[in-house]
Each structure stands twice: as C-alpha cells, then as structure tokens.
Amino acid sequence: MSHPTIPWELAPEQVTGGAPAELDGATRVALEAIVGADGVVTDRSEMDAAAIDVWWITRYQFHGEDRLPRPAAIVFPASRDEVVAVVKLCREHGLPIVPRGGGAGDSGGSLAIRGGIVVDTKRMDRIIAINERSLTVRVQPGILQRHLEEALNQRGYTMNHLPASINTSTLGGFVSTNGSGILSSKFGKTSDMIHQLEVVLPSGDVFCSMPVNRHSAGPDLSRLFIGAEGTLGIVTEVLAKIHHLPEKRTFMCYLLPDLAQGIEAGRRVMADGLQPAVMRFYDQKDTEHILRKQYDLEGEGCFFLVGFEGRAPVVDAQADCAHEIFRGTNGRDLGDEYGWNWWSGRLRSYYPPLDYICEPWMTAVTDTVAPYEDIERVYAAMQAAVEEGFAEHGALFHAHFSHWYDWGTAIYPTFLVKDVPEDRDEALDLYDRILRAAVRAALDNGGALNEHHGIGVRLGPLLPMAYGEESFRLLQTIKQALDPDDLMNPGKLGL
C-alpha cells in the first residue's frame, strides 16, 4: 500500500490526537496584549473549524478517527502593526504561524499541521481608499471578496474577480494561491490584478512593493508572495485594479458534437483577440452533470458558453466575430437563454445542496493548464488515468475548460468515487493513488501541477517533480533566506 501524501499520516509524532495543543498562560497574555482579549480564541469549536477546509481528506478525517492537527490558538489582528507584533512574538517563542483567510481552500494550505498560532485576517477587512482616476482600490486582505465586490458595485465599479468561492474567501486568500475567477479570460488571474502588496515577513519586517506593476527598477518582488500560500509572509495590504461596471453584457451558447471542435473554436476566439469575459466549455459528462440536470439543457454533446461585456458597440462587434467562428463548426446555436440562466445561478454548483461536499463520496478537483498543442492529450490522459486506471472502483471523471488564454486553456476536472472503501486506510490510500495518477498524467503530457487552487499539503510532495529538483532548490533557498526557522506556514508547497 502506498503512503498517503498527508504529513500528519507520515509523521504521527506531530499529531495531538485531534486535541489542540495547550497555549501557555504567559504566551496568551502576551498575545492578548497585542490583539485584545477577544482577539485570542482557544475554544474547541474554533479549533475544529481551523482543522478543516474544502479538501476531502480533512472532512473525511474529521468525521472519522479525527487525526487532524489543531493550532494552539487563533488570533485576529486588526492592523499591520498587530501582525508585526504577533509574528515577532511567535518567532521569539518558536511558534509556527499559519495565515488564514476564509479557510475555503481545497488543498490544506491553511491547516496548522505543526500546531502553533493561526493568524486569521478577517478583522483586517477595511477598504482604505478607492482611486477613481487611476481605477484602483487599496484594501486590507481579510475582506471577503463578496463584500469587496458589493462595495465597489455601489460606487459603479467592479474588481471583476468573481470566483466560485466569492462568498467564503478573502482577497488575501486569492493572492496566496494566485486564484482565478469566472471572468479570467478577459481580466486575468489575481496576479494580473495586483499593483502593490504590503507583506509582513517572517522576521517581522515589512516589505512594500512599488505602487505600479510595470517598471524596470529591478525585479518585481511582489511576485514572490503571489501564489506563495503564506509560506514567505503575511499580506497586510493590497492595491488592486478595478473597472467600471459594464455598459452591456451578452451571451452566446452552442452545443458542439465533440471536444476537439470546442477547443479549436475557443482557441480561435482567444487568438483573434476578441476578449471574451466568460468562456466555459463542458465535456459531455460535465454537460450532463451541470447543464442538463440544473438548467434543463436538451440535446447531446458538449456545451460552450461565451460571454462578452463592456461598451455596447464593442461587445456587439466581438459577439458577431465569435458567432462567425462557431458557425464554422458542426455545433448548434442555442441562443442566449442558457447563458443568462447560467449567469443568474452561476454559483449553485459549488454550494449545498448541489455540491459534492454534501455527498458521502470521495472527490477532488485536479485543475491544470496547458498550451493548445497539448491540451487534448492532457485531457485524454487524465480521463484514462482515472476511469481506466480505477475502473474497479467505478471512478468517474468529468471536466470543463473555464480559464482561457491566447496560448492555452485550463482544465477543471473532477474525479468521483461513490463507493468509498469502508476501511479508512484503504480509502485514504485510494484517494492518494487516484490524485497522483491524475496529476502525473497531466504533468507527463504538458500540463501544469495546478492552475488556480494552489498546492498546500495536498500537492506539496509533487511540486519538486513539477519544478524539477534543481529548479525547486531556488524556492527552498528563498524560503531559507526569509524564514530560516521554518515558522511561516510550514509544510506547504512541498517545503
């Protein structure tokens, strides 16, 4: 039997049997002096919440033997200065520090696998300033993305970062994983939206990048912290792009006979510079799972949704050009009704009662991204690795392509096993083997280890292979230089 890629399974001496480690009195008093008595939490219910995220493994363990590690305390700083003081105190006492936002990741990136202190940023939720001339917003990282978007909308603006977890995730969390939203094909990933970052380093020093993301004054060091998952510091302020709310939004929908025609049509839309805001292409199983069951889509095939938004004359011209491309396929024009239905219910698949999290099934998303010349091979290899490799377990694979670029596209695949082994070790081993098989199939065929969900604990052991051992040493060198005691979110990113 292979070993699960879960650090507390590999190192049981690090586990406290599910109980939180004790916070000594003197340390608690010192923390309360920094953040206030109500800013230090050690209640068991809060420790339980900090022990899980959306990762199937954490929920499976929590409802079983509960071998999950817990922090000694959760602290809620309200300012950069309080974060600095907490970090310096933890460093003085050798306490691991785990930054946490909404806790809605699916890879164990905010779990306290070595105990220590969780630094929860949700008190740091202020919008500091909106600059209507330069179109930027300066904001603290603990704000829920939903609240930020609503505040901007009230002023006639949008950040255009609308991920599925918008209701439950913070802006800082998206910075930590370099997340993508449903409008990424036009507006990009989090890294494309950031002008400036302020970060408290593991030493307690404060780094602040230049207030522009286009310069030739040495390397843009803010990029070190985007996607670093809190292993190199805690983000305490973000300067991000914003946009005017669109004058017009329009959708077009097609039902295509196969995957190849859809990928080629999407490639042409992006290569022609048509700038679609939404591009979502579903394979046959995902079409059935999401569109047919939830939106009463009729017909067989692969569903393709394209949306444009902006100034009305531009939107009309872009949509006309895109229609020309799709009319050159063997697809069926479905009009725009399904597009508007999807837009109004676009989050329903990711929350109860429709999300797989509500079912007693084994599941994971193994998103990847690849150039157009490789993407069909990546899809086929991942599908075969799951469905053929684990046919005896009835493993299912379905996917959609929801983040498109002029050079390639991302696959958002889900694997599912409904008949989970009763033996817990067998179940953990099966999950690990399916996950590794799917990810390795992507890597072996030109895909990336992950596109927008992050690495955390779940994929950490595979990151050296994805980088290459020699290249991965650079990340280790940077980590060692900034965090020689390995206190900042230890055990993540394969470090």
Q: Give per-residue pLDDT as tens, 231-267.
A: 999 999 999 999 999 999 999 999 999 999 999 999 9
DSSP character at residue 173 = H
Residue 349 CB-density burial (10 A; 0-12 exposed, 13-18 middle, 19+ buried): middle
DSSP state of 203: T
Looking at beta carbons, which pairs linking 348-357 to residues 24 or more positions away fall under 8 Å? 348/294, 349/164, 349/290, 349/294, 350/164, 350/165, 351/167, 354/294, 356/414, 356/416, 357/54, 357/59
Distance CA 163, CA 106 (A): 14
pLDDT tens digits along 67-80? 889 999 999 999 99
Residue with tokens 């950040």, as numbered in its chain: 159
* pLDDT tens column, 175-219: 999 999 999 999 999 999 999 999 999 999 999 999 988 889 999
Q: How far apart are CA 19 and CA 22, in angstroms?
A: 9
pLDDT tens column, 52-68: 999 999 999 988 878 88
Strand partners, 237: 198
In percent, how much of the chain has pLDDT > 70? Answer: 96
pLDDT digits (tens, 9 = 90+) for 147-175: 999 999 999 999 999 999 999 999 999 99
pLDDT tens by residue, 358-390: 889 999 999 999 999 999 999 999 999 999 999
Which pLDDT score, from 0 to 100, does residue 290 have? 76
What's the pLDDT tens digit per position in 288-313? 887 777 778 878 899 999 999 999 99
Give the pLDDT band of residue 26 (cuts 50, 70, 90).
very high
406-456 pLDDT, tens per residue? 999 999 999 999 999 999 999 999 999 999 999 999 999 999 999 999 999
pLDDT for 13: 37
Q: Compute the average pLDDT of residues 307-320.
A: 98
Cβ 185 vs Cβ 276: under 8 Å: yes
Residues forming a β-bridge with 401? 281, 411
Place of tokens 């060091």: 221
Least confident piece of the model among 50-59, 310-319, 476-485: 50-59
Stronger pLDDT, 348 or 30, i.e. the higher one: 30
**Helical axes 80-93 vs 25-35, angle rounded to 10°:** 160
Confidence at 225, pLDDT banded by 50, 70, 90: very high
How many angstroms separate the CA atoms of 226 and 235, rounded?
Answer: 9
Contact call for residues 108 and 176 (beta carbons, < 8 A): no
| The pLDDT of residue 267 | 98
Q: How far apart are CA 242 and CA 155, in angstroms?
A: 11
Are 274 and 185 within 8 A, CB to CB?
Answer: no
Is the pLDDT score of 20 beyond 60? Answer: no
Q: Which pTM value belongs to this model?
A: 0.93
- The better pLDDT of the pair 73, 353 is held by 73
Please state the φ and ψ torsions of residue 353, each to the nearest 5 degrees.
-95, 5
Mean residue pLDDT of the chain comes to 93
Q: What is the pLDDT of residue 450?
A: 95
- Measure Cα distances from 280 to 150, 154, 339, 361 in Å: 24, 28, 10, 26
**Sign of the torsion formed by the C-alpha atoms of 62, 66, 70 and 72:** positive
Instruction: Give burial (CB, 10 Å; 0-12/13-18/19+) of 48.
Output: middle
E strand segments, 25-126: 40-41, 73-75, 97-100, 117-120
| Residue the block writes with tokens 């977890």 | 165
For residue 159, what are its two tokens?
């950040």
The SS3 assignment for 85 reads helix
pLDDT at residue 10 greater than cutoff 70: no
| Amino acid identity, position 280 | R
Q: What pLDDT score was predicted for residue 229? A: 97
92-96 mean pLDDT: 96
